[in-house]
Amino acid sequence: MISRITAQTWRAAALGALWVQVASVLFTAAYALWRDPRSLDGWLSGLEALLAALALAWWTALLGRLLRGQTTPPEDGTRRALSLTFPWLTALRLGLWGTLGLALLAGAAPEANPVALTALMTVWFGAIVSSNAVFGTLVRLSGAPGDPPLRQRLREWLNLSAALAVGMTVLNVVPVRGFSGTPELGTQLVYGLGGLLDVLATVLALRAVMALGPGTAGAPAKP
């Protein structure tokens, strides 16, 4: 049944889910600021979500061109915007991850289960690395849509990102005892539904890339 779905159908489904995810991440940014407008955590969460939404929007636009076989030159505005944005997003995420890691090493949350904390930090770090790789690989592949090794690399990173997105969704919804308090229902719904949408959009993007034929690059994308 799945094998009978055309590449155009996978493309439409993937791009539709990704644009909905962009809106979802923007909503998450607004929710983080609304929920905790006076704290540094609220502003950092909002900034991270805003940067993620911008990077995802440009990534989705480039993916749409790739799925149509279009070549995007280095001077293209969308490609340049993504190339400039995603390293800052990764740096912010690594900064947040590292700050929490140092706090835990200094003795924060002594009552928390160390296995659960290790799982949290490991999955989170993996998600940061895989997200950075997905962004960077598509930037390179957008200039050479017919490159088989780059296509394979993008498929592999998308596959890993989908698995890690499942883990991040669970960790964002289910609190680690002794580390975080019981989250509000609204917070669980926002991050839980956002995480599920992330998983769905990533899987659909993977299927759309897998459905690409081996053909050569098409016409250059319009600026």
Q: What is the pLDDT of residues 26-51, one digit of tens each?
A: 998 888 888 877 778 778 888 999 99
The pLDDT of residue 176 is 79
CA 164, CA 179: separation in Å to the nearest integer? 21
The pLDDT of residue 133 is 98
**What pLDDT, in 10s, does the model give residues 181-195?**
677 788 888 889 999
pLDDT > 70? residue 145? yes
Residues 6+ apart with CB under 8 A from 135: 55, 59, 82, 86, 89, 90
The pLDDT of residue 34 is 87
Backbone angles phi, psi at 120, to 5 degrees: -60, -50
Backbone angles phi, psi at 71, to 5 degrees: -95, 130
CA 30, CA 52: separation in Å to the nearest integer? 13
pLDDT > 70? residue 221? no
**132: its two tokens:** 């950075």
- Using DSSP's 3-state secondary structure scheme, residue 71 falls into strand
More confident residue, 74 or 35: 74
pLDDT > 70? residue 216? no
The answer to whether 36 touches 181, Cβ cutoff 8 Å, is no
The pLDDT of residue 40 is 81
Q: pTM, whole model, 2 decimals?
A: 0.90
Task: Please report how the helices 148-173 and 185-210 are oriented relative to each other, as an axis angle in degrees rounded to 10.
Answer: 160
**What pLDDT, in 10s, does the model give residues 88-140?**
999 999 999 999 999 989 988 788 888 889 999 999 999 999 999 999 999 99
